[in-house]
Structure 1
Amino acid sequence: MTGKTFETRRVGQTDLFVTTLGLGGASLAGNYTPVPADQARATLAHALDAGITLFDTAPHYGFGRSEHLVGDVLRERRAGAVLSTKVGRLLRPVHGQPWPRDEWIDPLPFREVYDYSYEGIMRSFEDSLQRLGLEAIDMLHVHDIGTLTHGVDGNRQYWHQLANGGYKALNELREAGLVKAIGLGVNEWQVLMDAMELGQWDVFLLAGRYTLLEQTALDPFLATCVKHGASVVVGGPFNSGILAGGNRFDYASAPEAIVKKVRAIEAVCAEFTVPLPAAALQFPLLHPAVCNVLPGPRTPQELDGILEWWDTKIPDELWARLTEKGLLAPGAAA
């Protein structure tokens, strides 16, 4: 495949630009479904060939597997690629003992230890460089801090770590030029509003909360991002698959109310002969705060399907019809 010409958008107020379509690395690490290493590397290479520049990974994905795979490909072809990874979890060897594998199929033999402190973030950054086998990371996100992951009581200690040292570490890395942009990568927008009180962030990776199915993050979060000059990368544009022909929503079986809403959205898309996944993929970029949409294909063939949806022409009337029917939040498609 020859490279496409993608629109690029600026990340916050930095000098970093990314294509509006990126590639998320969670699925490649065997997220609920096994993905052979050669297949994962072929998918990454296919994305580079297609012209995609943003590649996102994290220590959590396969307990290091995703970072190893992404590094395998980018070590050979780093030119032009923008690399995003995360901090907040340190990986410790299990030394042959049983360990929780969570949603990962055949993860690497490490257990996770949460650490959002100054020392923890600096250690995580260096460990990621070693797993990737690269000398630089472009975007660094604080991963899964918030009550959704840790609960109200559990999150207090981690938020204290971030506020009293973790943010300082990220800012030092940015000021030293070791990373170009800092942010948070989470599944809840409320914690991002809290984070804005800690300092200046460049970009937020928000999964599942600003999609064709759900726009809870529209106001005040996205409006505040525009005011502060911060960008948003939208992860999970298919809401765990329910918007792309699957039956999962937020990593679990979709409840009937969600299924009913998806059917209603799909019926409107059919009026305009637009595949539902195409509308889901392109919708977030209607908002000026959004710089990138980040799906997670598992194979080169899945990526080809995404690229076909990406090229689908969507008339403005489709968004207007969804709004009229109460299926899009007012102002989401303005």
Structure 2
Amino acid sequence: MGPMKKKRLGTTDLYVTPVGMGTLTMGFSQKNLPEEEGAAVIVHAAARGINFFDTAQYYDTYRYLAPALREIRRRGIPEPVISSKTLAEDYEGTRDAVEECLQSLDRSAVDIFLLHEVRGMDDFRRREGAWKALLDMKAEGLIRAAGISTHHVDACRGMAEAAGCDVVFPLINLTGLGIRTLDPDGSDRPASREEMEEAIRICHAWGRGIFTMKAFGGGNLIEDYVRCLDYASGIPGNQSVMIGMADTAQVDTALRYFQGELDRTYVPDITGKRLMVDQSDCEGCGTCKARCVSHAIHWNENGLAEIDQKKCVHCGYCAPVCPVRAIIFL
């Protein structure tokens, strides 16, 4: 098969491959790869034709992207589209986050910069200063496209009418694992994939670029690899599926799928994988601990949930109830 056909991201001038590479998986909270190893995976992906990479200030993965970009430029591989994001809530903190990204990656402008994990439109309004910083820096030519990443249906839907929004990066997958919404009465509840599909449809109709995360639900749905990607890539309005990758085999498998070369009966080898609580996401609410039928989840010294691998029976009952999608299969 030839190179993947790139898609225009909304009404921006950015054209991206239908699959992107997320770098969270290789970072400190998950695989914590040596810098040289992580950079090599990124270079491999770019050399194979993936032109879209996601990072974030919080992931601490600029240390992989920086040397990878130097090698990509040295080899004459086309410069990829980079998306980053920040958890900052104020104007100055957001400007600092963008400047950090530009300096770390040796760029004069970052392609996409997002407010990271916006938890509903109330949260977006609370971060008004941060949003203004993104729009100001876009006007200054330091950002090419601004938007948000979110697990919340109401935030995705609300960004359709948000002035200056170019792109939205929502969570969606085959079973709706991890999708939330903030109702008008202020209650935060689980939401369905159909609700997020409708929010994506509305954003797309308003010209927002859409790329999606967590097609495998943090690895919890990975055994249904082909169906998961069939679903995510087939969502109307979704221009790219961002997949967390930490080795070249994962890159090559994803490329075979998107180039139509992967056996439809493919099931990944999950030998050695385990359920774990991402300590960077866990909020210590105790929902997973209460749901665990094997009493395998306990509080660690930081007051966060941790899974005892000797007791865990891999039933997966804990993952769907986590309100912040902190339980992953890695």
Q: Check 1:10–1:222 CA distance in 2 against 1; reply closer, same or farther (3 A cut).
A: same
Amino acid at match of 2:218: S
Amino acid at match of 1:306: A
What's the counterpart of residue 80 of structure 1? Answer: 79
The number of equivalent residue pairs is 243
What's the counterpart of residue 243 of structure 1? Answer: 221
Deviation at 1:4, TM superposition (A): 5.1
SS in 2 for 1:75: helix
Q: Check 1:287–1:56 CA distance in 2 against 1; reply closer, same or farther (3 A cut).
A: same
Deviation at 1:228, TM superposition (A): 0.8
Aligned partners of 1:233 and 1:291 also within 8 Å: yes
Deviation at 1:137, TM superposition (A): 0.8
Report the Cα distance in structure 2 between the residues aligned to 1:160 and 1:287, rounded to whole angstroms: 28
Instruction: Tell me, yes or no, if structure 1 residue 142 matches structure 2 residue 142.
Output: no
- Aligned residue among 56, 61, 65 for 2:54: 56
Report the Cα distance in structure 1 between the residues aligned to 2:248 and 2:197, rounded to whole angstroms: 36
Q: TM-score, normalised by structure 1?
A: 0.66
Report the Cα distance in structure 1 between the residues aligned to 2:221 and 2:71, rounded to whole angstroms: 34
Instruction: Tell me, yes or no, if structure 1 residue 232 matches structure 2 residue 180.
Output: no
Aligned partners of 1:278 and 1:310 also within 8 Å: no
Summarize the alignment of residues 89-128 of structure 1 with structure 2, pairs less than 5 Å apart. 115-128=88-101
Instruction: Tell me, yes or no, if structure 1 residue 181 matches structure 2 residue 145.
Output: yes
What's the counterpart of residue 259 of structure 1? Answer: none
- Aligned residue among 226, 250, 253 for 1:278: 226
SS in 1 for 2:146: strand
Report the Cα distance in structure 1 between the residues aligned to 2:251 and 2:124, rounded to whole angstroms: 37
Deviation at 1:312, TM superposition (A): 3.8
Amino acid at match of 2:67: D
Summarize the alignment of residues 288-307 of structure 1 with structure 2, pairs less than 5 Å apart. 288-307=236-255
Deviation at 1:43, TM superposition (A): 0.8
Report the Cα distance in structure 1 between the residues aligned to 2:198 and 2:164, rounded to whole angstroms: 17
SS in 2 for 1:86: strand
Report which stretch shifted further, 35-44 or 191-200: 191-200
Q: Deviations over 1:168-192 (max 9, x none)?
A: 2211222232221111012222222
What's the counterpart of residue 162 of structure 1? Answer: 127
What's the counterpart of residue 152 of structure 1? Answer: none
Report the Cα distance in structure 1 between the residues aligned to 2:134 and 2:232, rounded to whole angstroms: 27
Aligned partners of 2:58 and 2:86 also within 8 Å: no
Amino acid at match of 1:222: I
Aligned partners of 2:118 and 2:150 also within 8 Å: yes
Report the Cα distance in structure 1 between the residues aligned to 2:261 and 2:247, rounded to whole angstroms: 24
Report the Cα distance in structure 1 between the residues aligned to 2:110 and 2:26, rounded to whole angstroms: 19
SS in 2 for 1:204: strand
Report the Cα distance in structure 2 between the residues aligned to 1:4 and 1:34, rounded to whole angstroms: 33
Amino acid at match of 1:301: A
Q: Check 1:217–1:25 CA distance in 2 against 1; reply closer, same or farther (3 A cut).
A: farther
Aligned partners of 2:167 and 2:210 also within 8 Å: yes
SS in 1 for 2:244: coil
Aligned partners of 1:278 and 1:312 also within 8 Å: no
Report the Cα distance in structure 2 between the residues aligned to 1:56 and 1:161, rounded to whole angstroms: 25
Amino acid at match of 1:144: E
Aligned partners of 1:24 and 1:295 also within 8 Å: yes
Report which stretch shifted further, 231-240 or 77-86: 77-86
Report the Cα distance in structure 1 between the residues aligned to 2:13 and 2:212, rounded to whole angstroms: 20
Q: Which segments of 5 or more consecutive residues in structure 1 lack a partner in the other structure?
A: 89-114, 148-154, 246-275, 315-334
Q: Deviations over 1:65-118 (max 9, x none)?
A: x01211111133253310110122xxxxxxxxxxxxxxxxxxxxxxxxxx3222
Q: Check 1:85–1:11 CA distance in 2 against 1; reply closer, same or farther (3 A cut).
A: same
Deviation at 1:219, TM superposition (A): 4.6
Report the Cα distance in structure 2 between the residues aligned to 1:225 and 1:72, rounded to whole angstroms: 35
- Aligned residue among 66, 74, 82 for 1:71: 66
Q: Which segments of 5 or more consecutive residues in structure 2 lack a partner in the other structure?
A: 177-192, 263-330
Report the Cα distance in structure 2 between the residues aligned to 1:159 and 1:10, rounded to whole angstroms: 26
